[in-house]
């Protein structure tokens, strides 16, 4: 297995082709979930996966995250949630989890070995099935993932250095891993695969496929297999994955550098007796350890007009929406609003304080100019008064800029 060794006999594992990870996830929850179930998710999670649970009558239960992914321990971590589950108040205890372990969407976090084992052990103890969605597996930016040692015993040093997924911990056969060609060949090829125990594939997932999409397009399968098996071969494929990582990493570093530079400004005011230096901090973020996104926490409550904006009957979410609109109208830069990544309604208020920036979809020079424009925009936004902020998105002139916002959230890259 290219993604690491299985702890059980490989003959017991199998793969099933899907039309990408969204399709794979839908088949898995369709097969495993029952109306009234709850699914464990990261508190900020992939919007589409969270949205997809509702039609199945399945709720979500958020688990806290930090810069390294889902928390195993501590308040709001997995152990805390599972040990304090109250079936009377909260319904049936969860029996499956959806998690994005590498380059998490939206936070960019990558789960490390030790915490992965801790979470796996908890899942084992509470009998939780792990649905691991890994579209960004080869896009890892940690130091360890660059620690490539070529040696005779490792065929692909690039792959060997990457952080592994839950399948490598799977001593009790509870992991269902979703992979896709969407991020490595093209989203439009709609081709991916599920790796899990043969019994799960034969028992439920083949039926879920036969009764819905059937096999993914044979035409696409032929093209991808021609590319991987004959044209490039496995060596060419791995070289391609490594160069993709390098391209995206360069874009990430450029964006993170510009965001880092613009996150605060130093103000110096002087009188005849003294000089006063103050700092205005606009946002914070961690450079991501993988994936395609930077998750930026806007310090919106420290905006000088925040209190007055609220006194005028607006909310924090309104102010974040105005900031988002300001960036779109005056700077033509369009991060995704954080609220859409809430793993559950109860995380929405916290998620609303974030914006998610995608550095993967545009070339290096555009990453530079779009990020610089957005930074310039937030500095200007901090100078606006409450009344001016209220007018953003209307036809009136605000701070010398005019424009009505016509871009909907549906145009965002999720």
Ligand X SMILES: Cc1ncc(COP(=O)(O)O)c(C=O)c1O
Q: Is 354 in the site for ligand X (CB under 6 A)?
A: no
Residues 96-155 that bind ligand X (CB under 6 A): 100, 105, 133, 135
- The number of residues that bind ligand X (CB under 6 A) is 13
Q: Which two tokens stand for residue 217?
A: 């397009």
Q: Which two tokens stand for residue 149?
A: 């040692």
Q: Which of 182, 195, 209, 333: binder of ligand X (CB under 6 A)?
A: 182
Q: Measured between alpha carbons, how far is 414 from 406 in angstroms, rounded to an integer?
A: 19
Q: Which is nearer to ligand X, 38 or 182 (CB)?
A: 182
Q: Which of 22, 140, 209, 331: binder of ligand X (CB under 6 A)?
A: 22
Q: Is 288 in the site for ligand X (CB under 6 A)?
A: no
> What does the angle CA 134 – CA 109 – CA 251 come to, to the nearest 5 degrees?
90
Helices and strands per DSSP (H, E), number in the chain: 15, 15
Question: Which range binds ligand X by CB under 6 A, 179-187, 240-248, 270-278, 357-365?
Answer: 179-187
Before 78, cis peptide (omega within 30)?
no
Q: Is 43 in the site for ligand X (CB under 6 A)?
A: no
Q: Is 46 in the site for ligand X (CB under 6 A)?
A: yes
- Least separation in angstroms between CB 368 and ligand X: 23
Q: Measured between alpha carbons, how far is 29 from 242 in angstroms, rounded to an integer?
A: 32
- Least separation in angstroms between CB 21 and ligand X: 4
| Residue 72, CA distances (Å) to 103, 104, 132, 286, 398 in order | 18, 16, 16, 20, 47
Q: Is 335 in the site for ligand X (CB under 6 A)?
A: no
**Contact (Cβ atoms closer than 8 angstroms) between residue 177 and residue 134:** yes
Q: Is 26 in the site for ligand X (CB under 6 A)?
A: no
* DSSP code for 335: P
- Least separation in angstroms between CB 379 and ligand X: 30
Q: Is 28 in the site for ligand X (CB under 6 A)?
A: no
Question: Which range binds ligand X by CB under 6 A, 20-28, 72-80, 117-125, 209-217?
Answer: 20-28
Question: Which range binds ligand X by CB under 6 A, 14-22, 273-281, 340-348, 387-395?
Answer: 14-22
Q: Measured between alpha carbons, how far is 126 from 139 in angstroms, rounded to an integer?
A: 31
Cβ neighbours of residue 273 under 8 Å, at least 6 residues apart? none
Q: Which residues bind ligand X (CB under 6 A)?
A: 20-22, 46, 100, 105, 133, 135, 180, 182, 187, 192, 414
């Amino acid at each position: 297995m290219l993604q690491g060794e299985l702890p059980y006999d490989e003959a017991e594992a199998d793969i099933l082709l899907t039309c990408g990870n969204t399709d794979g996830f839908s088949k898995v929850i369709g097969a495993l979930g029952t109306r009234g179930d709850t699914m464990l998710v990261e508190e900020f999670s992939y919007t589409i996966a969270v949205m997809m649970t509702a039609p199945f009558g399945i709720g979500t239960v958020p688990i806290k995250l930090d810069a390294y992914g889902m928390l195993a321990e501590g308040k709001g971590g997995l152990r805390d949630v599972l040990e304090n589950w109250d079936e009377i108040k909260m319904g049936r205890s969860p029996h499956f989890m959806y998690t994005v372990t590498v380059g998490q969407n939206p936070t960019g976090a990558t789960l490390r070995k030790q915490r992965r084992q801790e979470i796996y052990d908890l899942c084992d103890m509470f009998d939780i099935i792990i649905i691991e969605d890994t579209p960004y597996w080869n896009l890892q930016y940690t130091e360890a993932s660059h620690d490539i040692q070529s040696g005779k015993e490792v065929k692909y040093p690039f792959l060997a250095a990457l952080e592994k997924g839950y399948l490598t911990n799977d001593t009790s056969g509870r992991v269902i891993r979703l992979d896709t060609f969407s991020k490595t060949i093209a989203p439009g090829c709609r081709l991916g695969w599920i790796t899990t125990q043969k019994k799960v594939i034969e028992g439920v997932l083949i039926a879920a496929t036969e009764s819905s999409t059937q096999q993914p397009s044979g035409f696409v399968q032929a093209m991808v297999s021609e590319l991987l098996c004959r044209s490039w071969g496995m060596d060419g494929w791995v070289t391609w994955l490594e160069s993709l990582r390098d391209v995206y990493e360069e874009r990430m570093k450029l964006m993170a550098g510009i965001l880092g530079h613009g996150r605060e400004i130093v103000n110096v005011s002087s009188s005849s007796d003294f000089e006063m230096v103050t700092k205005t901090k606009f946002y914070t973020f961690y450079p991501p350890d993988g994936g395609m996104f930077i998750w930026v926490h806007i310090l919106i409550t420290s905006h000088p007009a925040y209190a007055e904006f609220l006194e005028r009957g607006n909310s924090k979410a309104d102010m974040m929406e105005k900031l988002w609109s300001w960036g779109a109208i005056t700077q033509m830069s369009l991060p995704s609003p954080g609220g859409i990544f809430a793993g559950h309604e109860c995380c929405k208020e916290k998620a609303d304080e974030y914006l998610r920036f995608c550095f993967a979809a545009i070339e290096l020079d555009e990453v530079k100019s779009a990020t610089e424009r957005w930074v310039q925009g937030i500095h200007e936004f901090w100078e606006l008064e409450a009344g001016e902020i209220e007018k953003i998105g209307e036809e009136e002139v605000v701070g010398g800029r005019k424009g009505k916002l016509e871009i909907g959230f549906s145009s965002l890259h999720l």
